[in-house]
Amino acid sequence: MVPVGRPAVELKRVLGLPALFAVAVGVVVAQGVVVSILQGVGIGGASFFAALLIAFALTLCYVFTFSELALMLPRAGSISSYTEVAIGHFPAIVATIAGYLAPAVFGLSAELFLLDEILDVLYPDTFGSIGWIVLVVFVMLNVLGVDVFSKAQNLLAYLMLAGLIGVGVAGLIHADAAGASVDSIVEGITHVDANVFTLTVMAMWSFMALEFVCPMIEEVKNPGKNIPRSMIAAAVALLVIYFLVALAAYRVLPGIALTESDIPHWVLILELFGEHGKLIMAVLAITATCSTINTVIATIPRMLFGMAHNHQMPAIFMKVHPRTKTPWVGIVFVALLIMVPLILLRNQQGIILTLMISAAAVWLVSYVIAHIDLIVLRKKYSDYNRPFKSPWYPLPQILGITGMVYMIINNSPSSAMRSQVYTNAGVMVIIAGVYAWLWVTFKMKRKLFDTEPIEKALSD
């Protein structure tokens, strides 16, 4: 069987493998991720390297799942498109709004606050509220066209990766090593205890979001090869780079220096390069934040575009710019949502961090749903054409579900924060659930768990 029909409004197919790789690594490697890696090695020492390997294995699980789903249902809606066919419109809408839109809003707000903070530390009273400028600039670039987005993303992502590799190499050859011996890493990896799973939670945040290439699928050249290759290549590249940066920090600094700082990447660069490292730190901070902003501003509106095609969102989200063919309504809408916490929580970054962790917990639920989608669709459409099939099915899906459930349960270090995270996550799910219930029941006039035939989903 082959896809039937095409959407009435089409996007431009211009993205190749290098661009998709830049999207995958660009959305993952934010400043907050680098902070998580460095604080993880500060807390866990050599055991954190074992946690990175476990997190990498769980990453491949979801990469395999999303690759199969995306190529079986090649629609910009991504998780909403897969879920409406597998288990119904209600969970499809909840998974996308609570699992992707909310983390994007709070995550990008936190990233912009962090950029303001680090630049204020480096160059006090110089840049002002640069986060606002970054947001506006990348909204404009994304409206101008996917080719403009792609060129900007390639520059940002590859410059950022080169910078991180440079920091890692500098740490390995640094003469004054005040941290632990590199030789102890092998012992740390081979002699781990149950605490490694707690460290894996920290490490896993640093691999999440590779599936953000999937909403771009209607703009991808040769998606059958480039979608899975881009995610797998990005996962491998991130593992190598994280190992390199963590190894540099492990060798150069004592663990307490990393755990006591909110900006441990500056502590590391300062130790490696002294005051001359200010420019390096500024470039890394700006490229990491801009790369993440650029990618999320590109992908989330395309999810909304796909949901509108699936009749799960108002039709206005299907509007594309008449010349550049970009979903400009969704781009502006997402940018306006990001501005809300930037305005309301300007001096309350602790709150927005908790909200970000809460939204990420729901994001993990969406990963569980994706694995369930694949299992259901394997049974429901066993003979359907799959350009990519998950290796070793169903082992990656079972491991993925188990790992994500563990992370949901152990989403934060303290019981007090965990309780707040559960409360916030519950509120987000309820809000998304109320919208989904009202929309499916009264607008779509469907039962909540009615599924869409795959031929219908592909022809809408």
For 32-71, write each residue's pLDDT tens digit: 889 889 999 999 988 999 999 999 999 999 999 999 999 9
Identify whether 7 is preceded by a cis peptide bond (ω within 30 of 0).
Answer: no
SS (H, E, C) 374-392: HHHHHHHCCCCCCCCCCCC
Q: Quick one: three-class SS letters along 164-187?
A: HHHHHHHHHHCCCCCCCCCCHHHH
Q: How many residues does the chain have?
A: 460
Q: Provide the pLDDT for residue 11.
A: 64
Confidence (pLDDT) at 194: 77
Tokens of 356: 């970000």
Helices and strands: H and E segment counts in the chain: 19, 0
Cα(359)–Cα(100) distance, integer angstroms: 8
Degrees to nearest 5, angle at CA 393 with 390 and 398: 110
pTM: 0.92
* Exposure string for 296-320, b = 16+ CB within 10 A, e = fewer: bbbbbbbbbbbbbbbbbbeeebbeb
Q: Which residues contact 414 (CB under 8 A, 6 or more apart)?
A: none
pLDDT at position 2: 38
**Alpha carbon distance 291, 297 (integer Å):** 10
Angle at 298 between CA 297 and CA 303, to 5 degrees: 100
Question: Would you state the pLDDT for residue 12?
Answer: 66
The ranges of the chain with pLDDT < 70 are: 1-12, 179, 349, 412-414
DSSP structure class, residue 4: -
d(CA 153, CA 149): 6
Nearest 10 degrees: Cα torsion 213, 214, 215, 221: 80
One-letter amino acid for residue 111 of the chain: E
392-446 pLDDT, tens digit each: 999 999 999 999 999 988 876 667 778 888 898 999 999 999 999 999 999 999 9
CATH of region 17-459, choose from 1.20.1740.10, 3.30.950.10, 1.20.1060.10, 3.40.50.2300: 1.20.1740.10
